[in-house]
Amino acid sequence: MDRKHYVLVHGACHGAWCWYKVKPRLESAGHKVTVIDLAASGINMKKIEEVDTISQYSEPLLQLMASIPSNKKVILVGHSLGGLNISLAMDKFPEKFNSIPAADWLDAEFLPCGNKKSIVFGPKFLVTKLYQLSPAEDHELAKALMRTGSLFVEDMIQQKNMFKQGYGLVPRVFIICTEDLTITLKFQLWMIQNAGINEVIEMKGADHMPMLCKPQELSDSLLQIATKYAN
């Protein structure tokens, strides 16, 4: 079997921990899986106050990609805000990728944090918008492990358009989550239309956290993507 290397990248306020159901499934299929904590996320020692730009936030991912030999390729999987991090990595290291699958605020709080705004997901937002179809045990896990994050909007406004740079050289697959109440279906379709996506896979009945509510289906989709795009 041709062994693939998956790199799984979490979204805002989360960490490598959120992939705990998908990682062993991909590994049991014979593949290598790397999960990382971005800056000020998971068990990364930085604080969000020390991270001002999307590049600084992405530093652990960029360091990982720089360490991968030039003759090796990975399948990079970005969840939610993680799509920005993997876009930056694609732009810097387009030759190292096989393919890229990308996946009402209530009591979420946006707070001043230096020259940017931080974000904190409240328990009501967590249960009703992010994890509404995920197991209750995962709600509790998230409440215990989530950290303050940022969308880095102020920095992203100043970023160059990546679609004609290295980003545009990498095949991209978008996995739609039909019951995502955070990034709505309408907005997902807008992103697909504007991001030069090569293929779309639909996961029916998946909320914003498919790795938790539909881990086997997500794993199967990632294996399908590898079979088609990772040569």
* Structure tokens given for 174: 């978008």
User: Which pLDDT belongs to residue 119?
Assistant: 86
User: Which pLDDT belongs to residue 114?
Assistant: 59
Instruction: Please give the span between the terminal C-alpha atoms of the chain, in angstroms, as a whole number.
Output: 12
How much is the pTM?
A: 0.88
User: Which pLDDT belongs to residue 159?
Assistant: 67
For residue 40, the tally of other CB atoms under 10 A from its CB is: 22
User: Which pLDDT belongs to residue 89?
Assistant: 85
**What is the CATH classification number for the domain harbouring 103?**
3.40.50.1820
User: Which pLDDT belongs to residue 44?
Assistant: 98
- Exactly one of 37, 134, 208, 221 is catalytic; name it: 208
User: Which pLDDT belongs to residue 216?
Assistant: 98
Annotated catalytic residue 10: no
User: Which pLDDT belongs to residue 1?
Assistant: 64
User: Which pLDDT belongs to residue 57?
Assistant: 95
- Exactly one of 14, 37, 58, 80 is catalytic; name it: 80
Distance in angstroms (rounded) separating the CA atoms of residues 173 and 47:
32
List of the chain residues with pLDDT < 50: 105-110, 163
Domain count, the chain: 1
Annotated catalytic residue 14: no
Q: Which domain holds residue 203?
A: 5-229
